[in-house]
Amino acid sequence: MIPLPKGASDVATSFDDVVLTRRSIRGFKPDSVPKALIEEVIGLALRAPSSMNSQPWTLYVITGAPLDLIRAGNTERMLAGVPESREIRFGKPFSGQHRERQVGVAKQLFAAMGIERDDKARRQDWVLRGFRQFDAPVCIIVTFDRALADSDDSIFDCGAIANALVNAAWSRGLGAVINSQGIMQSPVVREHGRIGDDHVIVKSVALGWPDEEFPANAVISERRAVEEASVFVGFDDQGE
């Protein structure tokens, strides 16, 4: 297993180290995260660019009893078959190459966890972990100001800060996973997270100290090659 960062002294701090070693963390130690450290992480993430520097986001940082109520409410509603109620569009299920990549990382995670294809109970348990915010000690709900709801840039900007958050967390030895499952029952999150109606819920980020014994935390998801993910235009004219 690839060693995970443990403390401030031996964690990745250069940009390359952070982005090349970061991965989604879905198993956490029960230890709490000091508020001052979360503030430091958010301070870094707030350097994220945003449309015309609008900084449309508000981050709801939730722990303790309110987070436990969110976990319980999400689980109860999902098990009861309450339809999802996200506040941003999700679209149709993936197909083609996108579906292939979705299945690819799911296979990696299930293989790491030793969950067989036909093991319905453990697959269900895995899904429920997401609704419980992966039992992380902290959950950050990324929202934006409803006054900007008719601009897709607001959601784009929330993506920028979510990415900055997970990398900043990693640079301080914390682990995180951006998590759609956590906000699928948005009324529960809104109520217990005390989120005002003037904010639109976009995504949750589970945050805490990585559990080095949790097998899925070692999974390195695959990436497309630069040549496949990019189209270079006009470079032929410049020679090599």
Ligand X SMILES: Cc1cc2nc3c(=O)[nH]c(=O)nc-3n(C[C@H](O)[C@H](O)[C@H](O)COP(=O)(O)O)c2cc1C
Token pair of 91, please? Answer: 């679209």
Looking at beta carbons only, is 58 or 180 nearer to ligand X? 180
Cα-based angle 111, 33, 199 (whole degrees, multiple of 5): 90
Looking at beta carbons only, is 60 or 134 nearer to ligand X? 134
Please tell me whether residue 154 binds ligand X under the rule CB under 6 A: no
Please tell me whether residue 167 binds ligand X under the rule CB under 6 A: no
Cα-based angle 54, 56, 61 (whole degrees, multiple of 5): 140
Burial class (CB in 10 A: 0-12, 13-18, 19+), 46: middle
Please tell me whether residue 218 binds ligand X under the rule CB under 6 A: no
As a whole number of angstroms, the distance between CA 41 and CA 134 comes to 20
Quick one: which segment of 21-29, 31-39, 92-100, 185-193 binds ligand X (CB under 6 A)?
A: 21-29
Please tell me whether residue 130 binds ligand X under the rule CB under 6 A: yes
Give me the residue label for tokens 């601009």. 151
DSSP one-letter string for 82-104: PPPB-SS---SPP-HHHHHHHHH
Question: Smallest gap, in angstroms, from Cβ of residue 101 to ligand X?
Answer: 8
CA distances from 49 to 38, 158, 214 (A): 20, 10, 33
Quick one: which segment of 7-15, 85-93, 148-156, 177-185 binds ligand X (CB under 6 A)?
A: 177-185
Please tell me whether residue 105 binds ligand X under the rule CB under 6 A: yes
Quick one: which segment of 5-13, 47-55, 71-79, 173-181 binds ligand X (CB under 6 A)?
A: 173-181
Among 12, 18, 23, 174, binds ligand X (CB under 6 A): 23
Please tell me whether residue 5 binds ligand X under the rule CB under 6 A: no
Please tell me whether residue 32 binds ligand X under the rule CB under 6 A: no
- Residue 213 per-residue DSSP state: T
219, 112 contact by CB (below 8 A): yes
Please tell me whether residue 179 binds ligand X under the rule CB under 6 A: yes
Looking at beta carbons only, is 177 or 195 nearer to ligand X? 177
Residues that bind ligand X (CB under 6 A): 23-24, 26, 105, 130, 177-181, 203, 221
